[in-house]
């Protein structure tokens, strides 16, 4: 955990240093959002646009470091802490890459914005699947329904299934980065499907367990 904390602190500092370094090179309004075709459709003031991501990263890190300390089932989080810690680093790395991407585009270095974002998102989806497959019952990480939180068996079955689904979704998102026209609809629809499926699945498995 100490090494993870050091790595995360370094990434946070890197995020702020990048914003400070690029500050004088950017116009007063910076592009911060792109549509599915990679066209700019959102701007922010330079100060807000440059430092929003470092602040978001800092907030996310604080949240993830607090969770294992306040969860009533903190001993279960400890059981998969290696996967949890790796997820934190992967998530923050993804956000830093997104930040670098935004900075480069605003100084005139044009790359396929959606391709880079989608590849990173695909890897994030895939590792989310790994995290879910290894997560033990807790109140913050994984598929949490009334039925998964009431049974270790239902929790394990539901999170194992959802983990596989997220891994498949991640692979498809990475492949979809080369065919971007409809990928945003897949991301939204697949996330909604996984959420709906796991709710129904956990309920059915809980009912099976009651009847066993």
Rounded Cα distance between 135 and 150, Å, is 15
CB atoms within 10 A of CB 42: 11
Please measure the distance between the N-terminal and C-terminal CA atoms of the chain and give it in whole angstroms.
40
pLDDT tens for the chain, 212 residues: list them. Answer: 678 888 999 999 999 999 999 998 888 888 877 665 666 777 888 888 889 999 999 999 999 989 999 999 999 999 999 999 999 999 999 999 889 888 888 888 776 656 778 888 999 999 999 999 999 999 999 999 999 999 999 999 999 999 999 999 999 888 887 776 677 778 888 899 999 999 999 999 999 999 87
Vertex 103, ends 27 and 124: CA angle to 5°? Answer: 150
pLDDT reported for residue 51: 92
Rounded Cα distance between 37 and 39, Å, is 6
By CB atoms closer than 10 A (0-12, 13-18, 19+), residue 7 is middle
pLDDT reported for residue 168: 94
Handedness of CA 43, 44, 46, 52 (dihedral sign): negative
Residue 95 half-sphere exposure toward CB, CA atoms < 13 A: 23
Q: Is 38 left (phi over 0), alpha (psi -120 to 50) or beta?
A: left
Rounded Cα distance between 101 and 153, Å, is 42
pLDDT reported for residue 157: 97
């Amino acid at each position: 955990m100490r090494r993870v904390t050091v790595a995360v602190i370094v990434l946070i500092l890197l995020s702020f240093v990048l914003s400070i370094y690029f500050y004088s090179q950017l116009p007063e309004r910076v592009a911060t959002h792109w549509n599915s075709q990679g066209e700019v459709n959102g701007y922010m003031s330079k100060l807000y646009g440059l430092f929003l991501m470092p602040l978001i990263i800092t907030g996310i890190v604080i949240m993830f470091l607090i969770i294992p300390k306040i969860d009533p089932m903190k001993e279960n989080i400890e059981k998969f802490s290696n996967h949890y810690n790796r997820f934190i680093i992967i998530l923050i790395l993804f956000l830093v890459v997104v930040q670098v991407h935004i900075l480069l585009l605003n100084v005139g270095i044009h790359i396929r914005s959606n391709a880079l974002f989608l590849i990173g998102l695909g890897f994030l989806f895939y590792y989310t699947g790994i995290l879910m497959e290894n997560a033990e019952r807790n109140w913050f990480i994984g598929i949490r329904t009334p039925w998964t939180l009431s049974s270790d068996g239902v929790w394990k079955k539901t999170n194992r299934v959802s983990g596989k689904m997220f891994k498949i979704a991640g692979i498809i998102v990475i492949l979809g980065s080369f065919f971007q026209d409809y990928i945003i609809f897949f991301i939204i629809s697949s996330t909604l499907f996984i959420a709906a499926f796991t709710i129904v699945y956990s309920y059915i498995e809980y009912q099976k367990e009651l009847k066993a």
